[in-house]
Structure 1
Amino acid sequence: MTAAEGAAEDEVRPTRRKIRPDSVWAEVRKAWESGETARSVARRYDVGVPALWKRREAEGWTRPEPQSGPVEPVEGWDSFAERKRERFLNDLESVRELALDLMRILKGGPIGDAPLWHLGFIYSERARLLGAEVAVADREKARGYAWGEVLWDAEGRLKPQWELDILILQLHARTWREEVGLPDGVAERWP
């Protein structure tokens, strides 16, 4: 061993343990349990991270389950709320217009300008509310369209509502894809 190595060995001293009072450890625990990271707590209170982990284990420190609150939208809450309100009011107006159209049609008015996606429902409800005579007349008028025969079975009965919805969706797949924003060449098996 050289003299330099011996001198360096003499200078290596064991690390002194940091002894902190219980009041400091109470603050450390409070900070860690409230969600602060172990490293930042250890630095702030001048305690070692391994000592913090040992205390945590020995004393059974726990953190409450993380609760993810709502994430603020990019545009901020006020702009988000304004946009949502506008959409709500527009949707409300559209639903009211649809309700008025449906009431008029279900009272015996012409089906010609009926909303496409509600056509099966309209035929079903007109048959139920207005009787067989109107149902027969509706079927005769529908024969003038390419899809007219598809909605009724061989005996002239209107198909079940769920089947009508699917048939109309399939018959007007391109229109549906445009309305929901599906470009050509993607998700081609839908609807």
Structure 2
Amino acid sequence: MTPLEEVLSGRDERAACQKRMLASREGAFVCQIGLNVPGFPKRVPGDITIIKDCRRFLLACAGAAPFEEHYLDNGAGLCWQGAFDGKSYDAGALKRAAVEAENSMEAGRVLDIDVHTAEGQLSRLDMGLPPRRCLVCGESAKACARAGTHDPAELRELVIRIIKTAAAGR
């Protein structure tokens, strides 16, 4: 299997787990914490530390507790997924806490935190929140990624440095 095939298979596994958790309880929503790591491999030293720190921050900030949670380690990298009862917790509040984590944690710029409901993924823009900014130039991260504006090797090196520094400094 090629590295790209491994990533795609890993994403499929993540999506299947999300779908299962969403279906497990009426009104459930799922939060997933991963890292934006360009290139291969997707696992990098310190990734588990950053994801666990983010999980703690997010749950404390939102005052939420999942009814089910697990870590997945596959070709798409490491991620944490937690399922929440929508009758007890607000998905929008968790997404706002996720944006706060991305904006305030030392490794926040490389965090990838998604909140999924039965209706679909909550987006920053739909919630009136600003789009993510590129690590290198500050422009729209999505636009830079789509256009391939920055050297992938340099971007990967920057991301690994951010993760390593944040994991060592905790």
Q: Which category of TM-score, normalised to the shorter sequence, fits these structures? A: under 0.3
Structure with the largest fraction of helix: 1
- The two structures have a TM-score, normalised by structure 1, of 0.25
Structure with the largest fraction of strand: 2
- The two structures have a TM-score, normalised by structure 2, of 0.27
Higher RCO structure (Cα 8 Å, ≥6 apart): 2
